[in-house]
Structure 1
Amino acid sequence: METLEVVFLCYSLFIVTASFINLLRIDYWWIRMWDFPHLQLIVLAVLGLGGWFIWVHQYNWPNWLVPVFLVASIIYQLWLIFPYTRLHAVQVPPLRTVNEEAEGGKLAEISLLIANILMENNRYNEVLQLAQRQNPDIILILEADETWRQKLNALEPNYPYRLLHPLDNTYGMLLYSRVPVRDPKIRFLIEDEVPSIHAQLVLENGQNIHFFGVHPEPPSPTEHNRSTERDAELVLVGREARRLNEPVIVAGDLNDVAWSHTTRLFQRISGLLDPRVGRGLFNTFHAHYFFMRWPLDHIFVSQHFRLVHIERMPSCGSDHFPMFVTLQLDNSLSNRTNLPKPDKEDKEEAAEKVDEAKENK
């Protein structure tokens, strides 16, 4: 076998391993990290396939494994990403203008800006200007320390309802709301230094919306050596969301991508919908490297909502792009039946993750 043939065979073995290793239900970071770069793996597989046809194109054993492996990898990556293209049906229906009297009440809208601002980032004015320009009803700031809390004081006159929990460990959270907030709570669901938010938003028409702000710790060599704690926190939030009969919004940096097994498990456990499905990837990380981006910041909603607008905002100096979304509350959708549902295996897996995380707390 010639050297070039060996190179392409090894290359294809690497691509297929990186593409499918995420199927292993192992929580160690060096496995879970391969949940993320599926777009990049498509590009690498296409380049490898093109190079093989140009320079090798030999069909004798084991050379034929190269195109087979690379095509299988491409098909699998496309299957994962397909729901986040415009070729797929949307999960959250679009805005609809209706007769208010016929619907029995006003259709309320609520807008939300979420921004992981990167704690050491000092471009405070850009974040302020973005918030003031978009003028959302709700602002969720992640990775905020005390300095960021002080620098964002200018928001407070327009946002009388606040839940501010700055921390110097990159997990601080600041919630600003123009609409009344009932029973706001900072909670530590799994890890003692990683907070989450639960609050009830009361709209002008009296409708109550349960809002969850989340930012679990990622699996990485510098953060946590496994994904168990992240996954368990999402399971707990998902279980709580499913038990609620009122509208729900879950938003934040999940430190996980939209197509991963964990995020899809969260959707089945919670029954929540992803407004990006059928509309686009909206890659929010990494803001500084266009070739290494994936959808890390999420907004999930219950079946009660229509989507008015969704947009990735310009960078404000962070490694994350902010996300802005406007939702329309439409109670005529509350009886939808085609929602994500967990099966027996999902429930067993979810229970195992929570038990394991709590045992090692």
Structure 2
Amino acid sequence: MKTFLQIFGAITVVLTLFRFVAMDYWWIRVFDFPHVQLTILSIVAFLAYFLRFDFKDKIDYLFAGLMLICMTYQIYKIYIYTPLASFEMHDAQKDDPKKQLSFFTANVLQKNTSYDKLNQEIKKYDADIMVFTETDVTWKNEITDSLDPAYIYKVEVPLNNTYGMLLYSKLELIEPQIKYQVDDSIPSIHTKIKLRSGDLVQLYSIHPTPPMPQHNPMSTDRDKEMMLTAKLALENKLPTMVVGDFNDVAWSQTSQLFQRVSKLLDPRKGRGLYNTFNAKNFLMRWPLDHVFASKEFRVVSMEKGEKIDSDHFPVFIKFSLEPEGASIQEPDAVTTKDLERANEQIKGTEKMPDDMY
């Protein structure tokens, strides 16, 4: 029995330490994802070990201490996303519709055919800006056939490779561009948005490729696109947002580096995990769809949408542009070490020609 408990505990320790392995192989990076599940596993392993704990054995104290450290680390990484923690991005202090903008974003799952379910969510939230990923020509047609005429601005990149992207907006888009930052088959959309107040803000919408054993066994391409976008956000002088399916969880080393380099804030911290994937599996869910924003923004509301028969849930968020309060949520300065790490991940990337819209 004790041997079994030791093996069980050792597994939780090893899985916790995998997060710190600086390698890009999919079979290592996959352990970034089930953090909630690993947290529960580490708690169970720690408590179960005391069923056979020998208070006279120094090895037991050492082993239990190691498990306690791993359990504490796992709990802390989850804690910052619970309502018990402080907000990273504060609630809106003003109610000025001209300074507000709302987003609705969804990975529709290209093979999904429940078009009506998505359209119901679109109508329910009536967002200013909508971004859809995994969209082919059929999805584009189904969405546009029932689209409110108020969405007069659009950028459409329907593709059959599960990386198609569509953007629809009630607000004016300024200089929208379709860019291929890492791969000529994986687009991103970069555009300025003119608010009803006349203020300009910057939006980057991305959907980097995930590490997968059959197609892309390394996380290199995903990490490159995230770091390229982080540097764009850092260098942009406008209030900035990054939206999309990152194929990465918020607590991974790459996502945390993305946040530090971009100096963008995560509205989930202090509010909840908002697990968007896998919508088809209750036990294996984590946050893959993200909306990050710079310090000039505050949160009016945020919700996870209903099931649309995709493997992702939609996300809705409404921001208020309040630059006068930016200093209260000022992120830390970017360190030289973080910039070096970001540049190392970008190194070797050849930018493809950009299609101008």
In the alignment, which residue of structure 2 is the partner of 1:124?
A: 115
Partners of 1:165 and 1:156 in 2: CA distance:
19
Determine if the alignment matches structure 1 residue 282 to structure 2 residue 274. yes
CA contact (8 A) 1:107 1:329 kept: no
Partners of 2:314 and 2:329 in 1: CA distance:
32
What residue ranges of structure 2 are gaps of 5+ in the alignment?
Answer: 352-357
In the alignment, which residue of structure 2 is the partner of 1:103?
A: none
Determine if the alignment matches structure 1 residue 320 to structure 2 residue 312. yes
Moved more, 40-49 or 179-188: 40-49
Shift of 1:328: 0.6
Change (3 A) 1:165 1:209: same
CA contact (8 A) 2:94 2:320 kept: no
Partners of 1:237 and 1:314 in 2: CA distance:
29
CA contact (8 A) 1:107 1:330 kept: no
What residue ranges of structure 1 are gaps of 5+ in the alignment?
Answer: 101-105
Partners of 1:313 and 1:189 in 2: CA distance:
29
Deviations 1:260-316 (A, max 9, x none): 111111111111111111111111111111111111110001111110000111110
In the alignment, which residue of structure 1 is the partner of 2:26?
A: 29
The residue type paired with residue 133 of structure 2 is L
In the alignment, which residue of structure 2 is the partner of 1:309?
A: 301
Change (3 A) 1:42 1:336: closer
In the alignment, which residue of structure 1 is the partner of 2:73?
A: 76
Say which SS state the counterpart of residue 132 (structure 2) adopts: strand
CA contact (8 A) 1:86 1:280 kept: yes
Partners of 2:188 and 2:58 in 1: CA distance:
54
CA contact (8 A) 1:117 1:316 kept: yes
State the identity %: 36
Which residue of 147, 154, 158 corresponds with 1:166?
A: 158
Determine if the alignment matches structure 1 residue 221 to structure 2 residue 213. yes
Shift of 1:320: 0.7
Partners of 2:110 and 2:346 in 1: CA distance:
29
Say which SS state the counterpart of residue 178 (structure 2) adopts: strand
CA contact (8 A) 2:240 2:293 kept: yes
In the alignment, which residue of structure 2 is the partner of 1:58?
A: 54
Aligned length: 349
Shift of 1:107: 5.3
Say which SS state the counterpart of residue 157 (structure 1) adopts: coil
TM-score by length of 2: 0.93
Partners of 2:5 and 2:62 in 1: CA distance:
10
Shift of 1:66: 4.4
Say which SS state the counterpart of residue 158 (structure 1) adopts: coil
CA contact (8 A) 1:8 1:66 kept: no
CA contact (8 A) 2:299 2:320 kept: yes
CA contact (8 A) 2:98 2:196 kept: no
CA contact (8 A) 2:98 2:195 kept: no
In the alignment, which residue of structure 2 is the partner of 1:13?
A: 10
Determine if the alignment matches structure 1 residue 115 to structure 2 residue 106. yes
- Structure 2 counterparts to residues 131-170 of structure 1, below 5 A: 131-153=122-144, 154-155=146-147, 157-170=149-162
Which residue of 163, 174, 188 corresponds with 1:182?
A: 174
Partners of 2:69 and 2:329 in 1: CA distance:
34
Partners of 2:140 and 2:223 in 1: CA distance:
28
TM-score by length of 1: 0.92
- Structure 2 counterparts to residues 192-231 of structure 1, below 5 A: 192-231=184-223
Say which SS state the counterpart of residue 170 (structure 1) adopts: coil
Say which SS state the counterpart of residue 86 (structure 2) adopts: coil
Which residue of 228, 240, 243 corresponds with 1:248?
A: 240
In the alignment, which residue of structure 1 is the partner of 2:355?
A: none
Shift of 1:144: 0.5
Moved more, 38-47 or 117-126: 38-47
CA contact (8 A) 1:13 1:69 kept: no
- Structure 2 counterparts to residues 342-357 of structure 1, below 5 A: 342-357=334-349
Which residue of 245, 252, 269 corresponds with 1:260?
A: 252
Which residue of 21, 38, 43 corresponds with 1:41?
A: 38
- Structure 2 counterparts to residues 75-94 of structure 1, below 5 A: 75-94=72-91
Determine if the alignment matches structure 1 residue 95 to structure 2 residue 92. yes
Partners of 1:316 and 1:61 in 2: CA distance:
54
CA contact (8 A) 1:267 1:340 kept: no
The residue type paired with residue 11 of structure 2 is F
Partners of 2:265 and 2:280 in 1: CA distance:
29
In the alignment, which residue of structure 1 is the partner of 2:291?
A: 299
Partners of 1:161 and 1:330 in 2: CA distance:
25
